[in-house]
Structure 1
Amino acid sequence: MKQTEIVKLSVAELQEQLVQLTSAYNDLTSAHAISPIENPLQIRGARRTIARVKTELSKRELQ
């Protein structure tokens, strides 16, 4: 998910997206711990997307 897509979402949608992304990230890391996943860069991408969503949420709280 790109930053331009994140900016267009509402606060409720961002919070919902954050829950979904966090659970997907946890699934990826646990699957990778058991046996290596095919593309480990997915973990990095998920972590960065979570950071983007959290940044947008905190930016909106400050406004």
Structure 2
Amino acid sequence: MKATEIREMSAAELNQKLTDLKAELFNLRFQHAINQLDNPMRIKAVKKDIARIKTVMHALELKNVQ
């Protein structure tokens, strides 16, 4: 997911996507723990997507405060 795609989302969409990504990360970690993970790099990608979404959400909060 690219940052430009994330910036185009509404706040509700961002919250939903964040929830979905956190659930996916939990499942990936669980699969990793029992050695059934096919693509270990997916964990890193999901973490980065979560960070991007949180960054955009924080920027929106700061924009609304001012």
Which TM-score band applies after superposition, normalised by the shorter structure?
Answer: over 0.9
Read off the aligned partner of 2:62 and give its amino acid letter: L
How many residues of Structure 1 are paired with residues of Structure 2 in the alignment?
Answer: 63
Alignment-derived partner of residue 57 in structure 1:
57
Alignment-derived partner of residue 26 in structure 1:
26
Gaps of 5+ in 2: none
Instruction: Name the TM-score, length of structure 2 as normaliser.
Output: 0.91
Read off the aligned partner of 2:10 and give its amino acid letter: S
Q: Which has the higher contact order (CA 8 A, sep 6+)?
A: 1
Read off the aligned partner of 1:54 and give its amino acid letter: K
1:47 aligns with 2:30: no
User: 2: distance between equivalents of 1:2 and 1:55?
Assistant: 13
Percentage identity across aligned positions? 40
Gaps of 5+ in 1: none
Larger Rg: 2
Instruction: Name the TM-score, length of structure 1 as normaliser.
Output: 0.95
Pairwise CA RMSD? 0.8
